[in-house]
Amino acid sequence: MTTAPPPRTPRTPRTADTNATTTAAGFSTTGPTDAAAPGEVTDTTAATRAAVEAFLTRLQEGSPDRVAELFAERVDWMIAENPAVPWLRPRSTRADVAAHFRELGEGQRPDPSGTSVDAIVVAGPEAMLSGWLAGTVLATGKSFRSPFAMRLTVEHGLIVRYHVVEDSLAIAAACTAD
């Protein structure tokens, strides 16, 4: 006589922690915040999360040199180039990172009420952030609002990959005089 095997216990899916939190930089985050299942946060994941928190804090402080300190000497940098947007061009070094954030700060005034980080997902050395960017281009007085997604890779406590996808058309339109 054959018997049926015992029922399988369903595995708990690996899901992101969806608790709402506030980052050290004061950004309100909702949605996925860690890709490891409860109790599975690795030292690498914790180190990556700490680097992301430091990055957001320093961005909010507005010091390009302090932001750049969080990047490796060589950086895999990707933001789509656009000749209408003066701060968007290829970068590859820590000094380039400082220059980018300096030029960004000189070229636009951020709108804190329209800027948010809505999700942060961290797994090992990788972090994904998504949210909204908003500001006013100083040269034209035009405002922009853009969704964004950002991928950061952290090695030895430093950001080695910085990839950003944003609505470059909206930002270019704000940079273009009528």
Is the pLDDT at 115 greater than 60? The verdict is yes
The per-residue pLDDT for range 123-144, each reduced to its tens digit, is 999 999 999 999 999 999 999 9
Strand partners, 119: 130
Residue 118 CA, distance from chain mean position = 10
Can you give the pLDDT at residue 81? 86
Taking the C-alpha atoms of residue 20 and residue 119, their distance in angstroms, rounded to an integer, is 9
pLDDT at 37: 53
What pLDDT does residue 40 have? 56
pLDDT of residue 8: 41
Is the pLDDT at 166 greater than 70, yes or no?
yes
Judged against a pLDDT cut of 60, whether residue 31 lies above it is answered with no
Which pLDDT band, with edges at 50, 70 and 90, does 14 fall under? very low
Closest CA relative to residue 127, chosen from 43, 12, 34: 34
* Rounded CA separation 50/60 (Å): 15
Mean pLDDT of 134-161: 97
